[in-house]
Amino acid sequence: MKTIINILITFLFSTLIFAQEKPVKIVFDVTSSEASVHESAVKHVKMMAEAYPDSKFEMVMYSGAYGMVVKNTSTVLNQMEELGTIENVDLVVCQASLNRHKIEATQLIAGVRAVPDGILEIIQKQGIGWGYIKEAK
């Protein structure tokens, strides 16, 4: 009987230890100018951030996706503003893309930060072990 109890206790602790999920770090790559891709990317990041609060998520926008973070053109303005308030989410836009389209920092949605190069940002994240998701149509 004592052996059965010890086996059950061992099984219970093993289950608890393996059931705990290890936090992850994921970078989301968004380049499309398509509103449907923007909506999908925001939905995915929000869902993951809420489901895994100990994990970290970064959305990197460049090329045609720069419009996601511009106050006057974003088709996902409200969703991006909400996403920018989630503690484990970082919203990043490529400064080179902003420069190419003559977008000033004052035109960006609150909570968005610019990095010199979106592609380099993604490569650096991957270099330190971040997972990668490409948001596309």
The 10s digit of each residue's pLDDT in 33-75 is: 999 999 999 999 999 999 999 999 999 999 999 999 999 999 9
Distance between CA 12 and CA 90 in Å, rounded?
37
Phi, psi of 129 (to 5 degrees): 95, 5
Quote the pTM value: 0.83
Paired residues of 133 in beta bridges: 28
CA distance 3 to 118: 58
User: In order of start, what are the domains of the chain with their CATH numbers?
Assistant: 23-135 (3.40.1260.10)
**93 vs 18 pLDDT, higher one:** 93
Kindly report, residue by residue over 76-108, the tens digit of the pLDDT. Answer: 999 999 999 999 999 999 999 999 999 999 999
User: Amino acid letter at 119?
Assistant: I
CA distance 87 to 82: 11
Angle, alpha carbons 47-50-51 (nearest 5°): 80
Per-residue DSSP letter, 74:
-
